[in-house]
Structure 1
Amino acid sequence: MYSAALMVFTLGFSYAAVPLYRAFCSATGFSGTPITDPERFAPSRLIPAYLDPSTNAPTKRIRVTFNADASDAIPWSFTPQQKEIYVLPGETALAFYTAKNKSDKDIIGIATYNVSPDRIAPYFAKVECFCFEEQKLLAGEEVDLPVFFFIDSDVLDDPSTKGVDDVVLSYTFFSARRNAKSGQLEPDTDLSKYTVGKDL
């Protein structure tokens, strides 16, 4: 009985490992994953920090640069509409990407994302993003994809992020496949081959 219970528990845990890992990364910013926890979006967090609390000097704006890639297996063009923007901690910002299906078939794509340097990820919060769900583009269709985000003003209190003036927000689109076991859509590739936004 104990052995059977242990086997059932191990099997169930192995199925739950990937969603639990994704939830952990989204809640903590681990491995450069931007925060998506809705509790971080309280109105008090969305106030620009014009003064650095440690020095009482004007806060320097952080440059956010946008990067876009598409897997070789998906016939899409995918580009940011703006190269960069400058934001204050606590200030919300809206950016857009453009995706176009260059094939003659409807295709569902999934975007993975990352922020570099890794140490800024716990403070990079996305309020709304096209990457939260799969995107279906009809044959030849072109769409604008928004991302609404802010950098939490708590970044000013963290000594490890004092020198961070530049942030890169990276997305990679993959064609989607349906997982045979769970039925959920997932990227149709080996994600271990893709590395973006890692601190050296």
Structure 2
Amino acid sequence: MAELNREFQRRQRDTYKKRNQSLFMYSAATIIFAVGFTYAAVPLYRAFCSATGFSGTPLTDPSRFEPSRLVPAYLDPSTNRPAKRIRVTFNADASDAIPWTFTPQQKEIYVLPGETALAFYTAKNKSDRDIIGIATYNVAPDRIAPYFAKVECFCFEEQKLIAGEEVDLPIFFFIDSDVLDDPSVKDVDDVVLSYTFFSARRNPKNGQLEPDTDLSKYQVGKDL
């Protein structure tokens, strides 16, 4: 009987040991996944916004840039009347923490749906040291964002300006002609494209450069 009890206790200990090992492995895997997802959250969110136009983020999905889509729509298919041009105005801001001037070279551009347009901003480093900056962007009103596509843009890319340097920064974009089929944006005649430059900092956890600020304090991804 004593031998049977010892065998039973041994098997019970082995069972608890295996159960604890399984629980430890599961917990470790969960923590690793959570940490990895946290590191990837910003780029994943940025990719999601760029692909869907969420929160006023202009589209950057390259599948939208097929030649057949980059054709001005001269007629509105719903009315068979000439399509109206949409006024795109440009806004530029620089945070107080970065000693740059940042301005659009043009006040506005009028474009037809499907028509490509090229615009420029100018940034100048007014300090006596080299500085890396990063620009965030959004488009307003929010509901036009799914149709505002950027073919080429300087946003979220590091821009290093040496002391006193001035550069021209291009933005190549179009408003998708599908906008003509969406009743929710039929009344949109004016679009505002906004950029804000911040000094850059390197994230100590993942090494990525990111704006050196709390973006929640700015009109980033929000209707103006």
Counting aligned pairs with the same residue, the percent is 89
Q: Which runs of 5+ in 2 are unaligned?
A: 1-24
What is the aligned partner in structure 1 of residue 19 from structure 2? none
Letter of the 1:89 counterpart: P
Structure with bigger helix share is: 2
- Of 62-71 and 127-136, more deviation after overlay is shown by 127-136
Q: In the TM superposition, what whole-angstrom CA distance separates every residue of 1:142-176 from its partner, at most 9, and x where no partner exists?
A: 11111000000001111110000000000000000
* Structure 1 runs, 4 residues or longer, greater than 6 Å off: none
Separation of aligned partners in 2, 1:85 and 1:29: 21
TM-score, normalization by structure 2? 0.87
Separation of aligned partners in 2, 1:148 and 1:160: 25
**Given the alignment of the two structures, is residue 144 of structure 1 paired with residue 168 of structure 2, yes or no?**
yes
What is the aligned partner in structure 2 of residue 122 from structure 1? 146
Letter of the 2:90 counterpart: F
SS of residue matched to 1:74 = coil
Q: 2:182 pairs with 152, 158, 162, which one?
A: 158
What is the aligned partner in structure 1 of residue 86 from structure 2? 62
Q: In the TM superposition, what whole-angstrom CA distance separates every residue of 1:70-116 from its partner, at most 9, and x where no partner exists?
A: 00000000000000010000000000111110000010000000000
CA 1:160–1:101 in 2, change beyond 3 Å: closer, same or farther? same
Letter of the 1:16 counterpart: A
Aligned length: 200
Separation of aligned partners in 2, 1:2 and 1:196: 38
Separation of aligned partners in 2, 1:151 and 1:9: 38
CA 1:34–1:73 in 2, change beyond 3 Å: closer, same or farther? same
Map 1:86-125; keep pairs closer than 5 Å. 86-125=110-149
TM-score, normalization by structure 1? 0.97
CA 1:163–1:34 in 2, change beyond 3 Å: closer, same or farther? same
Q: 1:79 pairs with 73, 88, 103, which one?
A: 103
Q: Which runs of 5+ in 1 are unaligned?
A: none
Q: How far is the alpha carbon of 1:198 from its aligned partner? A: 3.4
What is the aligned partner in structure 1 of residue 27 from structure 2? 3
Separation of aligned partners in 2, 1:152 and 1:110: 27
Letter of the 2:57 counterpart: T
Q: How far is the alpha carbon of 1:197 from its aligned partner? A: 6.5
Root mean square deviation, CA, Å: 1.1
Higher-Rg member (1/2): 2
Q: How far is the alpha carbon of 1:20 from its aligned partner? A: 0.9
SS of residue matched to 1:82 = coil
SS of residue matched to 1:163 = coil
CA 1:4–1:198 in 2, change beyond 3 Å: closer, same or farther? closer
Q: How far is the alpha carbon of 1:133 from its aligned partner? A: 1.5
Q: In the TM superposition, what whole-angstrom CA distance separates every residue of 1:16-70 from its partner, at most 9, and x where no partner exists?
A: 1111111100000000000001111000110000000100000000000000000
Q: In the TM superposition, what whole-angstrom CA distance separates every residue of 1:1-25 from its partner, at most 9, and x where no partner exists?
A: 2222212212211211111111100
Separation of aligned partners in 1, 2:38 and 2:123: 34
Q: How far is the alpha carbon of 1:199 from its aligned partner? A: 3.8
SS of residue matched to 1:130 = coil
